[in-house]
Amino acid sequence: MASHRNQGCNVLDHRMSRRNFVMGASAAAGFGPLLTPAMAKQAKGQQKQILQVYLQGGVSQFESWDCKPGTKYGGPFREIQTTVPGMKICELLPYTAQKMHLLSIIRSINLKTNDHGVGRLFMEKGRTVGDYPYIGSVASRYLKNANDPLPGYIHISTRGLTDNTAAFLEAQHGQMKLEGVAPPENLLPRTGIPESVLTKSEQFRLQLNKQFGTGRSKSLIDSYDASFDQASQLMARKHLFESQPEKDLNRYGHHPFGQNCLLARRLLEEGVTCVKVTHHGYDTHAENFNFHIEQLDEFDKTFATLLGDIEDRGMLDNVLVMVYSEFGRTPKINNKYGRDHWGASCSIALGGAGIQPGAIIGATNADGTEVSDREVDGGHLFHTYMQAVGINSTSDHDIPGRSVPIGDPAASAIEELLA
Amino acid sequence: MNSFSAIPEATHEIKRFEHGEALTTCRFSPDGRYVFAGAEDLAVHRWDVSTGTTTTLEGHESWVRRIDFSVDGSQLLTAGWDGQIGFWETDGENPQPHHMLQAHRGFARWVHASPDGKSIATCGNDLRVRTWKLKNYKMTADMGGHDRHPYAVMYHPDGDHLASEDLMGWIHIWDTRRRRIASKIHADIMTGYDNKFAADMGGARDMEFHPDGSRFACAGISNVVNSFAGQQDPLAILVDWNTKQIECHLEAKDKATGVMWGVSFHPNGFVACGIAKQNGSGTIEFFKVDKESIDSARVEQTTEKTNDEQPSSETSDKTDEDSSESKPAAPTLKSYFSVAVDKCVRGMDFSPDGKQIAIACSDGTLRILEMNKKAETESESDKKSEG
């Protein structure tokens, strides 16, 4: 796909006409070289969005998307039939199995790393090294309607690292981190303070901002301002944080992941471009099987409910859904009934916008120790995500004076997965 | 007292049988002829202890983590993570399951035969505790009450009660006639929440009643630090049947990190526990659990606590009422003797004659240990004679 760069012939143009591809509302806002006016017109009102469900720590491919029952490293679990003939997944995912006609599986990922940090960056940035933006930040930059006051990239998690996800993109495209369903900290005005004082306080903030901006790049200051405004706008939708409908919670689950996924759906409904939900607890060096029973039991019904809701609302054509980890887990079961880090043969599931559903891409060998067919890595996945939502990942970032490819030129999209 | 001629301090390995996959549990057959073991494959494996002959029993679709026998010893009972209970002939050249009972939706964690030989009790990941007629495999009780997965269930020797323990350390005592919970005990020391990974870990990895029914033991973990890395302490508890109070905690004399996978009462009065350590090795720990030992541990613990606290009258906020309300913590008994094993011990069982211990190890070996002085070889005997 590297050869597609700077050829004047926009691959996305072809793809648009071929598949009647539609773009996000961001097209209307006009993000320069990435979108043609025709595409923008076509895309208006149908904003592409992304839902990332990150299974932090490295979910076991054997216990999820690539079962090997009865084999040397297969573990104790059986596989079950899904709604796609011939597609089987682990019995720990019975609810998700009933939604697999909406998703596809990639079973042939070789990340060539067993390191949490490197694996995570590869899966988020499509590169293992270098200062590049995360999927959510890229989506925010190129898919978000410039007039939309909400943040473009919200990450709901109960903990985790605070990364500079925007890299060289404007700061407002960095992730806004929400600690569960709690509202962002320090944004609510203090109670009991008169309106007049609050107004003066805001004026003072703007004055300081102006002073700070003297001699600094306007775009940088605008970017910080935009971030602040986005957070404020999010808080203007306080109902998202004040309470969650009991009826919905009963379906999603009252546990934190259930609450977080329900919030994710509501944020997507509000138009947030990329919502990422992290589910913790998959780094199972010990008791891999008991922990996967516990964690996937929590994940399965909640995720299937969320996916079903997105479909029922007619949003799935425009929402790319990703379920992924920073790597998989070792075939070999250690003496603590654990599986360790394994990036050489792992799997993800994805579906929705721009993705052909019901497909299985690639394969691992009989024991699951290595990829046997259609090997891909984080670079290929990144291109695939981007192109699924209509971003030409083979072009450069829209950064004046710089030529930075959006996706790694050494990799390309998994074409057969793109709808 | 020493009718079983068992001397823990003399424990040594006498036999080792190899299997290709890591073992998960093991049990002596009631006649002592065989040891059966589960493994990280889909089979149960039988070793003839005297000849070492191996037989593979195929029928489950998942791992077997619990093995039991009918009271008369003729039937082998196996609980699999496929939700099935297997019923097999214990003897026989090539045993086949004469019935596979789909006992639970999800995983069958445990099976135990009733003392009268007529029933079995099972529990599984569908949160149910069930009893079944051994004669026709019909369910006779289907009891709910555990909010999290029950890991083990055992009949009390009176046959009218069951004890089961779940992931959260809740022990339910069931009245099998009324088919309901008779009482609950919260062994909260046996469960923990891993803050970093946001998950619970705990529950009984093994359970056994004393043959006289006066107490039962549960083995597992405590002090969860990082369970995803196997960082917690192995621990067992003894529970007094009459008072339903935890009598004492059992801990290895040398600080260990890992899981206690086995606990068993020896006819001579001591208790042995099998441990899988985080570092990949294991131990068998021996405990004196008589009243004197427990009382002594309690006194020692109270003295230590008093010395540590030494509250002055000026600073203590406690009232007499508070003191009277506070329940004394169960004392911790340390093992008095320990046998090192170079691999994780994942299951253990005493032989019916009480002289041997079988241990299932993580390297796929089944080892037979004898609790007696090593028999002198002919050459050793000759040397002594010459001397």
Task: Quote the mean pLDDT of chain A.
Answer: 86
Domain residue limits at B126: 55-302+328-337
A275, part of any domain: yes
Give the per-residue pLDDT at A24.
31
Q: Are A40 and A27 in contact (CB under 8 A)?
A: yes
B366, part of any domain: no
Domain residue limits at A325: 2-183+238-417
DSSP A290: H
Separation CA B375–CA A261 (nearest Å):
66
B378, part of any domain: no
B93, part of any domain: yes
Per residue in A211-245, pLDDT (tens digit) is 877 777 666 666 667 777 777 777 777 788 878 89
State the greatest distance between any 2 C-alpha atoms of chain A, in Å, as a whole number. 71
B318, part of any domain: no
Answer positive or negative: Cα dihedral of A154, A160, A165, A167.
positive
Domain holding A83: CATH number?
3.40.720
How many domains, in total, are found in chain B?
Answer: 1
B90, part of any domain: yes
A319 vs B387, residue with greater confidence = A319
Q: Are B49 and B15 in contact (CB under 8 A)?
A: yes
Interchain proximity A281–B197, CB inside 8 Å:
yes
**From B42, B125, B228, residue closest to A283, measured CB to CB:** B228
Q: Return the bridge partners of B373, or none.
A: none
Element (H, E) at B132: strand B128-133
Which residues in chain B are closer than 8 Å to A159, comparing Cβ atoms?
Answer: 196
Domain holding B243: CATH number?
2.130.10.10
A284, part of any domain: yes
A188, part of any domain: no
**From B22, B228, B258, residue closest to A284, measured CB to CB:** B228
B1, part of any domain: no
Confidence of residue B344 (pLDDT cuts 50, 70, 90): very high
Which residues in chain B are closer than 8 Å to A291, comparing Cβ atoms?
Answer: 197, 199, 201, 227-228
B291 token code pair: 């009243």
Average pLDDT over residues A192-197: 83
Closest CA to B240 of B207, B214, B219: B214
Interchain proximity A333–B22, CB inside 8 Å:
yes
Helix (H, G, I), strand (E, B) or coil at A122: helix
Which residues in chain B are closer than 8 Å to A293, comparing Cβ atoms?
Answer: 107, 125, 149
Task: Quote the mean pLDDT of chain B.
Answer: 92
Chains A, B: CB contacts within 8 A come to: 77
A212 token code pair: 């700070």
A86, part of any domain: yes
Per residue in B303-342, pLDDT (tens digit) is 877 676 655 444 334 433 333 345 668 999 999 999 999 9
DSSP B375: P
Interchain proximity B200–A286, CB inside 8 Å:
no
Which residues in chain A are closer than 8 Å to B345, comparing Cβ atoms?
Answer: none
**From A77, A158, A285, residue closest to B228, measured CB to CB:** A285
Which amino acid belongs to residue A266? R
Helix (H, G, I), strand (E, B) or coil at A231: helix
Per residue in B72-95, pLDDT (tens digit) is 999 999 999 999 999 999 998 999
Give the per-residue pLDDT at B173.
98
B307, part of any domain: no
How many domains, in total, are found in chain A?
Answer: 1
Closest CA to B288 of B303, B273, B305, B306: B273
Interchain proximity B197–A293, CB inside 8 Å:
no
Interchain proximity B62–A78, CB inside 8 Å:
yes
Interchain proximity B228–A294, CB inside 8 Å:
no
Separation CA A392–CA A350 (nearest Å):
19
Per residue in A341-373, pLDDT (tens digit) is 999 999 999 999 999 999 999 999 999 999 999
Q: Return the bridge partners of B356, or none.
A: B370
Interchain proximity B22–A338, CB inside 8 Å:
no
- % chain A with pLDDT above 70: 85
Q: How far is B259 from chain A (nearest CA, A)?
A: 9
B227, part of any domain: yes
Confidence of residue A33 (pLDDT cuts 50, 70, 90): very low
Long-range contacts of B231-236 (CB under 8 A, 24+ apart): B231/A286, B231/B257, B231/B278, B232/B192, B232/B201, B232/B257, B232/B258, B232/B259, B233/B257, B233/B258, B234/B258, B234/B259, B234/B260, B234/B273, B234/B275, B234/B276, B234/B277, B235/B189, B235/B190, B235/B260, B236/B260, B236/B263, B236/B271, B236/B273
Separation CA A370–CA B176 (nearest Å):
51
Separation CA A226–CA A222 (nearest Å):
6
Per residue in B157-171, pLDDT (tens digit) is 999 999 999 999 999
Helix (H, G, I), strand (E, B) or coil at B301: helix
